[in-house]
Chain A
Amino acid sequence: MTVDKNYERKRKLVNSFGKAIVFISALLLIIITVSLFLFVTSKGLSTFIKDGISIKEFLFSTTWNPDREVPAVGSLQFIIGSILVSAFAIMISAPLGVSSAIFMVEIEKKLGQKILQPAIEIFVGIPSVVYGWVGLTVLVPFISKHFGGLGFSLLAGILVLTIMTLPTITSVSTDAIRSLPVEIREASYALGATRWQTIRHVVIPAAKSGILTAIILGLARAFGEALAVQMVIGNRPVIPKSFLEPMSTITSIITMDMANTAMGSVWNDALWSLALLLLIISFTFIIIIKLVGRRGMYK
Chain B
Amino acid sequence: MKSKLYDKIATIYFYAVAVFLILFLVSLISYILYQGRTKLNIDFLTSPPKFMEAGGGIGPQLFNSLELLIITLIISVPIGLGAGIYMAEYAKPGLLTELIRLSVETLSSMPSIVVGLFGLLVFVTMTGWGYSLIAGALALTVLNLPVMTRVSEDSIRSVPNSLREASYALGSTKWQTIVKVVVPAAMPGIITGIILTAGRIFGEAAALLYTAGMSSPALNFSNLNPSSPTSPLNIFRPAETLAVYIWKVNSEGLAPDARQIADGAAAVLLLMVLIFNILARWLGSTLYKRMTGEK
Contacts and interface: CB of A to CB of B under 8 A. Distances in A.
A and B touch in the complex (CB under 8 A): yes
Contacts of B24: 163
Interface string A258-299: 110001000000001001001100110110011000000000
A30 B100 contact: yes
14 contacts: A19-B175, A23-B86, A25-B83, A33-B106, A36-B115, A39-B118, A102-B14, A116-B21, A133-B266, A224-B112, A227-B247, A259-B209, A259-B214, A272-B117
Contacts of B266: 129-130, 133-134
Interface residues of B, number: 92
A56 B102 CA distance: 30
A31 to B, nearest CB: 9
Given A28-B79, A136-B250, A278-B113, A15 B13 contact: no
A26 B86 contact: yes
B210 A134 contact: no
Interface string A104-140: 1001100110011011111101111110111011100
Interface of B: 3-4, 6-7, 9-11, 13-15, 17-18, 21-22, 24-25, 28-29, 31-32, 35, 78-83, 85-87, 89-91, 99-100, 102-107, 109-115, 117-118, 120-122, 125, 142, 145-146, 149, 173-176, 178-179, 196, 199-200, 202-206, 209-210, 214, 243-244, 246-247, 250-251, 259, 262-263, 266, 269-270, 273-274, 276-277, 281
User: Among B29, B110, B174, B259, which residue has the most Cβ atoms of chain A within 10 A?
Assistant: B110
A231 to B, nearest CB: 6
Contacts of B214: 259
A115 B15 CA distance: 13
A60 interface: no
| Category for how many chain A residues contact B | 35 or more
Contacts of B273: 122, 125-127
A29 B82 contact: no
B118 to A, nearest CB: 5
Contacts of A80: none
A12 B31 contact: no
User: Among A103, A118, A132, A285, which residue has the most Cβ atoms of chain B within 10 A?
Assistant: A103
Given A29-B104, A223-B111, A40 B122 contact: no
A116 to B, nearest CB: 6
Given A25-B79, A130-B246, A103 B176 contact: no
B32 A134 contact: yes
Contact of A103 (B7, B18, B78, B262): B18
B137 to A, nearest CB: 14
B186 to A, nearest CB: 14
Interface in A14-66: 14-15, 17-19, 21-30, 32-36, 39-40, 43
Nearest to B79: A25
Contact of A127 (B81, B102, B204): B204
A226 interface: yes
A182 B246 CA distance: 47
B13 A278 contact: no
A144 interface: no
A137 B104 CA distance: 36
A22 to B, nearest CB: 4
Contacts of A102: 14
B205 A227 contact: yes
A34 to B, nearest CB: 8
Interface stretch (A69-77, A191-199, A236-244): A191-199
Contacts of B81: 25
A282 B111 contact: yes
Contacts of B106: 33, 282-283, 286
B253 to A, nearest CB: 12
